[in-house]
Amino acid sequence: MEPITTELVLEVYNLHVFYGSLHALNDVSFDVKAGEIFGLLGPNGAGKTSTLSAIEGLLKPKSGKIIVGGFNSREKPLHAKASLGVQLQATSFQPELTVLEIIQLFAGIYGLPMSKEKIMRLLQDIRLEDAVAKRFAQLSGGQQQRISLAISMIHNPKLVLLDEPTTGLDPQSRRQLWERMEGMREKGHSIVLTTHSMEEAEAVCDRIAIVDHGRVIAKGTPAILIAQHQNDPDVIKASRRGKITLEDVFIGLTGKAIRS
């Protein structure tokens, strides 16, 4: 594994986002280093997707600063976007287009000339070379997810944002995706990942931030978070098997109540 450097590929400072009167993100700050997998964890509606949307430029924060790959997202939005690869939670491509046409579309959007041979190599990498002429709507969920991830990486970005990428995947596909993420990290890419799975966070994330009610309530490596909170009464109460896990810390910090 490549060592994580101190170079920052993402800096988020004092982010505030409002939806009408709802304060969705309240003073969110964190950073991501080059070659790091950073996990954003939180219950439903905690602010994970809003954080990613602000970084992606899909929503305008009321205040705060976001720097992607050295570019301020307010001052140089296109440069910031070009430094990013994104896999959205609910995303799709025109169902009428074939896999080849979708890849050509995004290669063109990112200003990359891509021959058919190069596209075939890309598809071979994700074992979808037989799907080149298939329309996106004809692919299985796992295949769509692989295409989506490949497109998010098509321009070799410094930072990749993955919004709940393993939701709905079978264990084999999930493991495969984890391996892909680790492969990306080895090549020096950084990843910001949102997930509900503590197992996933512990398995692949170098550092995590727990978000609740629009605030970052804890930040660090999974091991450090467990060590820091293992004696909290709420964490001990949440523990089911005696040994404190990341899930116990998460439940202890965010509460047992189900969020809508």
Partner 1 sequence: MQTIIPSPGTVFKTLLKADFITQWRNRRSVILVMLVPLLILISWQPLIKTLGGPFVLSNCITTGLTAIGLMAYSTSIARDRDKGIFQRIRVAPVPTWSIMMSRITVQLAMICFMTLTVFIVGYAKAKILLEPAGYVLGFLATLVGGVLYLGLGQAIVGLVKNSETVNATSRLIYSIFILIGMLGELGTLGKQVALIAKWSPYGTVRRLISDSLHPASWNMDTNFALLATIGYAALFVGLGIWKFKWETK
For residue 254, report the phi and psi dihedrals to the nearest 5 degrees. -105, -10
Q: What share of the chain is helix, strand, coil (3-state, %, to 5)?
A: 40, 25, 35
Contact between 106 and partner 1 by CB under 8 A: the answer reads: yes
The answer to whether residue 133 forms part of the interface with partner 1 (CB under 8 A) is: no
Of positions 63, 124, 140, 156, contacts partner 1 by CB under 8 A: 156
Is there binding between residue 88 and partner 1 (CB under 8 A)?
A: yes
Residue 110 within binding range of partner 1, rule CB under 8 A: yes
Tokens, residue 119: 């596209």
Which residue's CB is nearer to partner 1, number 131 or number 246? 131
Stretch that binds partner 1, among 104-112, 193-201, 214-222, 223-231 (CB under 8 A): 104-112
- Per the structure block, which two tokens stand in for 123? 């598809």
Q: Write the DSSP assignment of 24-45 as a string of letters.
A: EEEEEEEEEETT-EEEEE-STT
Does position 245 interact with partner 1 (CB under 8 A)? The reply is no
- Residues 196-235, mask of contacts with partner 1 (x by CB under 8 A): ----------------------------------------
Smallest distance, Å, CB 40 to partner 1? 17
Q: Shortest distance, CB of residue 156 to partner 1, whole angstroms?
A: 5
Of residues 39-68, which lie at the interface with partner 1 (CB under 8 A)? 56-58
Are 180 and 148 spatial neighbours (Cβ–Cβ below 8 Å)?
no
What CA–CA distance (Å, rounded) separates 122 from 251? 40
Binding status of residue 93 toward partner 1 by CB under 8 A: yes
Q: Under the criterion CB under 8 A, does residue 13 sit at the interface with partner 1?
A: no
Structural contact between residues 248 and 240, judged by C-beta atoms closer than 8 angstroms: yes
CB of 91 to partner 1, least distance (A): 5
How many alpha carbons lie under 13 Å from residue 154 in its C-beta half-sphere? 28
Burial (CB count within 10 angstroms: exposed 0-12, middle 13-18, buried 19+), residue 208:
buried
Q: Indicate the helix (H) or strand (E) that contains 191.
A: strand 190-195
247: Cβ contacts below 8 Å, ≥ 6 apart: 198, 238
Q: Are 254 and 208 in contact (CB under 8 A)?
A: no
Contact flag: residue 3 with partner 1 (CB under 8 A):
no
CB of 9 to partner 1, least distance (A): 9
Q: What residue ranges bind partner 1 (CB under 8 A)? A: 56-58, 69, 71, 78-79, 81-84, 86, 88, 90-97, 101, 104-106, 108-112, 155-158, 188-189
